[in-house]
């Protein structure tokens, strides 16, 4: 899918796939699809709402502070589509950390998740100290704040809701269409799209500048390597990773690029959501895979001896196929027959228990994956790959 910038890629996907799911959201005991046809108008309304909120230069910086959600992503997509530079901020950061990122990027507009994140913005606007350096209010360029979920907030003049911003954008869309189209036509692959901040454990966080080219090239290389095949795309991309990390950001953008719905989840609901969603693709940090492995092994340790032996035999059989599968060679006949039996009796049930029975690919990133953990999932009959260097 050739595109000159991220916004064009997203908008072309929306135009071509209007009846297909862009997102799948948990509603009670099921996941419900939200189509591109449903979200496409929102992208224009948010874009127009942003442009009518305050004066925004072509390359203005805006922050998005909060946990992974469809609204977070739509705000990001809309901002990128009009050339704004988005700065994702972890929901867990302290007010002074949030403040530093606003000063460092000279961000003029913030989109925050809820009352808790708004409280951080209010606190840092009064000035703050970070790594023994004082920052005064006049060093903060922030001029406007949008709250995605204003539940529990009293009306005030220092914020507006995303719903109100969208409503204003819908009213002003016709008036602003020429400006929106002009901005979209100016965006080039070499232009800065976003920033990814380092952890800042030994000093202030440092921003890694990422262009439209950087992000699109990652997706294009993934396409060239056939990372997201039809099974993966059809089943959807499970997304619970924080969007302030480049790993989560890659998955966010892979949704529209590969015409695959983004299945929105969160860390607290991850295990249950997996069983309901049964995604085609699951990306995670190694720690989640480690916990899954430990949970299964813990359950087996409490099982009768016969079941323990059956589990070990099945896993040993699955692991014995790894050298052949990794080299693309046929599995010897006797081992192949033994594996089929192990899969029917044990391995397929393990995949189903985790919610991976429809999963075409697991991806691990952000830290090294232990060999024992890698072999555990490969032995279970799953494809698990490692990714690295996304920020670099």
Identify the pLDDT of residue 105: 97
Which tokens is 48 given?
A: 């127009």
**Per-10-residue mean pLDDT, the chain, length 392:** 90 97 97 98 98 96 98 99 98 97 98 98 97 96 98 96 98 98 97 89 88 94 84 92 93 96 97 97 96 97 96 98 94 97 98 96 91 97 84 52
Tell me the pTM: 0.94
Identify the pLDDT of residue 389: 64
Q: What is the H or E stretch that residue 146 is in? A: strand 144-147
Identify the pLDDT of residue 278: 97
Identify the pLDDT of residue 75: 99
Interacting residues of 150 by C-beta distance below 8 A, sequence separation 6+: 114, 115, 159, 161
The Cα-based distances of 113 to 72, 73, 291 in angstroms read 8, 12, 28
Which tokens is 153 given?
A: 């907030």
Q: Which domains does the chain have, with CATH numbers?
A: 6-257 (3.40.50.980), 285-386 (no CATH)
């Amino acid at each position: 899918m050739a595109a000159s910038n991220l916004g064009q890629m997203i908008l072309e996907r929306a135009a071509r796939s209007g009846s297909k799911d862009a997102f799948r959201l948990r509603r009670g005991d099921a996941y419900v699809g939200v189509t591109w046809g449903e979200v496409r108008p929102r992208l224009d309304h948010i874009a127009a709402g942003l442009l009518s909120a305050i004066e925004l230069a072509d390359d203005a910086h805006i922050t998005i502070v909060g946990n992974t959600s469809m609204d977070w992503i739509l705000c990001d997509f809309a901002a990128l589509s009009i050339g704004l530079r988005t700065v994702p901020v972890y929901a867990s950061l302290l007010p002074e950390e949030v403040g530093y990122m606003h000063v460092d990027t000279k961000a003029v507009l913030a989109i925050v998740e809820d009352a808790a994140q708004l409280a951080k913005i209010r606190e840092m606007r009064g000035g703050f100290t970070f790594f023994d350096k004082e920052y005064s209010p006049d060093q903060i360029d922030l001029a406007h704040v949008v709250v995605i979920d204003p539940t529990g907030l009293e009306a005030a003049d220092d914020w507006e809701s995303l719903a109100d911003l969208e409503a204003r954008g819908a009213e002003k869309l016709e008036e602003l269409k020429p400006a929106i189209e002009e901005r979209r036509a100016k965006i080039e692959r070499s232009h800065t799209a976003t920033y990814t901040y380092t952890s800042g454990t030994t000093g202030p966080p440092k921003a890694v500048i990422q262009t439209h080219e950087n992000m699109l090239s990652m997706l294009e290389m993934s396409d060239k390597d056939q990372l997201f095949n039809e099974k993966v795309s059809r089943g959807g991309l499970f997304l619970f990773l924080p969007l302030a990390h480049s790993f989560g950001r890659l998955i966010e953008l892979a949704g529209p690029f590969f015409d695959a719905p983004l299945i929105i989840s969160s860390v607290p609901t991850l295990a249950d959501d997996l069983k309901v969603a049964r995604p085609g693709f699951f990306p995670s940090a190694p720690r989640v895979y480690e916990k899954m492995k430990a949970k299964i092994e813990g359950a087996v340790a409490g099982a009768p001896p016969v079941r323990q032996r059956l589990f070990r035999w099945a896993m040993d059989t699955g692991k014995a196929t790894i050298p052949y599968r990794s080299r693309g060679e046929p599995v010897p006949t006797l081992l192949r027959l033994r594996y089929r039996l192990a899969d029917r009796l044990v391995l397929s049930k393990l995949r189903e228990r985790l919610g991976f029975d429809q999963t075409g690919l697991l991806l691990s990133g952000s830290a090294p994956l232990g060999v024992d953990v890698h072999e555990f999932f490969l032995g279970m009959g799953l494809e698990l790959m490692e990714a690295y260097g996304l920020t670099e």
